[in-house]
């Protein structure tokens, strides 16, 4: 009977470990951002962040999140899965930030 309990315990720990291994912390926020990369003759013409899905963000926080999304889209611009001869490639990006760092973005706002 003890062996059966040990096996069940080890099995339950094995199932729980992938969530821990991913490194997602409970205190982090995940914010979705839509970006568009416009191509013309297989070259990037423009990169835009079209929408930030964050209802509780201040203007400064939204601006910083857009900047990060643009940086990530810029790094992904030459991915062979995204390159088009002519057209717009739409990307959905998820940006993770800890609550502490997110709150620090709000503190950086200039006083009006």
- What number of other Cβ atoms are within 10 A of residue 9's Cβ? 10
Strands 28-40 and 43-53, by their bridges, are antiparallel
| Tens-level pLDDT at each residue, the chain (112 residues) | 677 777 776 666 666 655 554 555 677 889 999 999 999 999 999 999 999 998 888 899 999 999 999 999 999 999 999 999 999 999 999 999 888 888 888 766 665 5
What confidence tens digit (pLDDT) does each residue in 34-44 have?
999 999 999 99
């Amino acid at each position: 009977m003890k062996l059966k309990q040990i096996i069940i315990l080890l099995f339950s720990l094995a199932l729980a470990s992938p969530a821990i291994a991913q490194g997602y912390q409970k205190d982090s926020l995940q914010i979705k951002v839509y970006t568009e990369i416009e191509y013309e003759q297989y070259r990037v013409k423009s990169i835009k962040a079209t929408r930030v899905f964050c209802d509780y963000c201040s203007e400064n926080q939204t601006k910083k999140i857009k900047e990060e999304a643009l940086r990530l889209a810029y790094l992904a611009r030459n991915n062979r899965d995204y390159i088009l001869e002519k057209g717009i490639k739409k990307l959905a990006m998820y940006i993770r930030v800890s609550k502490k760092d997110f709150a620090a973005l709000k503190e950086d706002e200039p006083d009006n």
